[in-house]
Amino acid sequence: MITVDDVVRFPLSAAHFAQCVANAQTVAAHLVDRPDLHARDDLERFIHLLMGEVAERMVLEWLRAQGKAVRSTVDKAAQRPDGGHDLVLRATDGRELFCSVKSSLSYKLTLEQILATCKLATKASELRDVNIQVYFWLTLNPDAAASRVTVPALRQSALLGWFAKGDLRDFAPYRHEKRQAPAPTLRTARPMQSLLAYLV
């Protein structure tokens, strides 16, 4: 079980963010949405792509900062579906671990509420050895001293936690989408720091 104190905030450098933008532009040129997603226009699709690129890069750079072996495996220019994982990690026993990074956005929930109510953004067929959830959240009605955040922002993003493939067995229909999602909430994820003990 995780709390807000367990999540990881990891700022990207300007160079890494610029690479995320370039990657999103490359992928957008040939991406075809999955049939179980709602219809998206070009701007919505690009924002989602960019959030995904940022989430993947945040995880990659955080793991590198912890001294862990990690590499990206997605060919951004490939005009075919990827292998279903974003990163390859190295386990302490030498095995390669496939890692899926999921990104999501909440327009109304606080970080505490996201952990309590939201699920890993995946379906059973997409589970990999390691499954990490990154969230972006907006602040539409802040306290008087704060500014609104009405679009995804790096300052309101975090690596929430991770699930091993065997952690998630029960799936149920996902609200507003033609797909399923795990039944447990993100509160049941493992803390990001605990992942480090499994990796070299």
Report the pLDDT averaged over residues 83-101: 95
3-state SS string over 89-114?
A: EEECCCCEEEEEEEEEEECCCCHHHH
Enter the pTM of the model: 0.93
Task: Say what the pLDDT of residue 172 is.
Answer: 86
What's the pLDDT score for residue 77? 79
pLDDT for residue 40 = 83
First to last CA, the chain: 24
pLDDT tens figures, 144-196: 888 999 999 999 999 999 999 999 999 988 766 777 889 999 999 999 999 99
Mean pLDDT is lowest, of 68-72, 81-85, 142-146, 185-189, for: 81-85
Of the pLDDT bands very low, low, confident and very high (cuts 50, 70, 90), residue 81 is low
Instruction: Out of 11-25, 128-142, 171-185, pick the least confident.
Output: 171-185
Q: Is the pLDDT of residue 37 over 90?
A: no
Q: How far is CA 162 from CA 46, 159, 176, in A?
A: 25, 9, 24
Report whether 194 contacts 9 (CB < 8 A).
no
